[in-house]
Each structure stands twice: as structure tokens, then as C-alpha cells.
Chain A
Amino acid sequence: NAGVTQTPKFQVLKTGQSMTLQCAQDMNHNSMYWYRQDPGMGLRLIYYSASEGTTDKGEVPNGYNVSRLNKREFSLRLESAAPSQTSVYFCASSAIYFAGTSGRLDTQYFGPGTRLTVL
């Protein structure tokens, strides 16, 4: 089980360039997420996909698009990169399950991250 994998690990772009960050999970999870992590800001949700075929905006969606290609894969696209998009990007996936007295849990598992620099 590889868990959640992300490519690339590192990327440097010039302002205005486009790129797609790839994410895949092999845990048969229904839900997938894209976050960005910036110093002093914590983890912020960009987009999420509750299930195959659906996507929804998170806290900071501007400048990004997503595609839920199938149950395993969820990609994040920057159409015209800006220096403000310099960040570490994390993909996550989750499955809902019932855990007795703990109720319904939805724990997220994260990938290793992509470090993106936009010059």
C-alpha cells in the first residue's frame, strides 16, 4: 500500500506558467482533498471531492481548478501561476466509517507534499 502519492515533489515555475499537480490514493477512499500550507497560516483547504464525480470549493479556491479523474486520482491545476501561490501543497484522502461509541469518523490521510515556488 503506497497510501497517498503526489507528483512532482518539487517544482519551480515562472509567473504566468501553468502546471498540474497529481495525486493518487490506493486505499479505496471516496473523498479527496487539496490543501496548501504556508508559514503562519496553517493548512488551508483549496478544493475537495466528496466522491467520484463531485468537486467543491474550499477556503482558498481562487486561481486553482481541480479534476477528479476517477476514484483514485485527484489533480490540482494552476492555470496562470502567481508568486502568491508559492506554497507546499498536500493532497489527502479519507473514508467514512462507523467506530462504535465514537460515532462516524472521517480521518484524513495525507500525501508527502509538493513544494512549489513561483518566481
Chain B
Amino acid sequence: QKEVEQDPGPLSVPEGAIVSLNCTYSNSAFQYFMWYRQYSRKGPELLMYTYSSGNKEDGRFTAQVDKSSKYISLFIRDSQPSDSATYLCAMKRSGGSNYKLTFGKGTLLTVNP
């Protein structure tokens, strides 16, 4: 079983839809959870991060972490064509000198006007 699983999509939605992106993981040591957005032919950019369980909201974006189920989600409300990108989840263990992130393979999202 891979440490992080992410449905690659592609996911196509109409403008204004609510989008749900998800990742599951197997390593219970993960404490930090991040979502990166990557536009075509660009580098990933950090969108949101969450420490441990709970929700975090930033504008139209909400990140949720359910550690009991080893499941994280990113919700996008009122989706816009400019949200069309690949979304990568990433996770990290806590403590010590552990700097490494473990990434999902990414979900390609297209928002149609």
C-alpha cells in the first residue's frame, strides 16, 4: 500500500460548482498536511496547510483532516476557471530533523466557464 493515495482524476466541473479533492494515507506518523496547486508547466505552490486534525478555511478553500480515518480533503467553493490546475496533497511527520514531504500523485481539475 502506498503511503499516500490520491485519485488522479481528471475532474471536470462547471463554474460555480463545489469541488471536493481527497487523499488517503497509511502512515499514522503524519502530522502536517498540505495542499499544493500546480498550474500547467509551473512549479507547485503552497495553497493550504493544516497541523493534526481539524478544519482550516481560507476564502473559498477549506482543508479538512480526519486522522482517525487517515483522510484529508480540500473543498473549493464557487469554483472558477482560474482554479483549473493539478492539486497535490502532501504530508510530513513531526519532530526532529524530518524535512521530507510525501506527495500524492495529484488530481487534475478543470473548471469550465
Residue numbers of A with Cβ under 8 A of B are: 4, 31, 33, 40-43, 45, 48, 50, 58, 90, 92, 94, 96, 99, 101-113
Contacts A90-B44, A113-B42: A105 and B103 contacting too (C-beta < 8 A)?
no
Chain A's closest residue to B36 (CB) is: A110
User: Does B85 count as interface, using CB distance less than 8 angstroms?
Assistant: no
Interface of A is mostly: strand
Contact, CB under 8 Å: A45 / B106: no
User: Does B18 count as interface, using CB distance less than 8 angstroms?
Assistant: no
User: Does B61 count as interface, using CB distance less than 8 angstroms?
Assistant: no
- For A50, list chain B residues within 8 Å (CB): 97, 99
Contact, CB under 8 Å: B99 / A90: no
- For A101, list chain B residues within 8 Å (CB): 51
Q: Give a binary string over B1-18; 1 marks a CB under 8 Å from any A CB, 0 the rest.
A: 000001010000000000
User: Does B49 count as interface, using CB distance less than 8 angstroms?
Assistant: yes
Q: Give a binary string over B78-90; 1 marks a CB under 8 Å from any A CB, 0 the rest.
A: 0000000000100
Contact, CB under 8 Å: B105 / A111: no
CB distance from A114 to the nearest CB of B (A): 10
In the complex, chain B residues 89-108 whose Cβ is within 8 Å of any chain A Cβ? 92, 94, 97, 99-101, 103-106
Chain B's closest residue to A43 (CB) is: B103
Contacts A42-B88, A104-B94, A105-B32: A110 and B100 contacting too (C-beta < 8 A)?
no
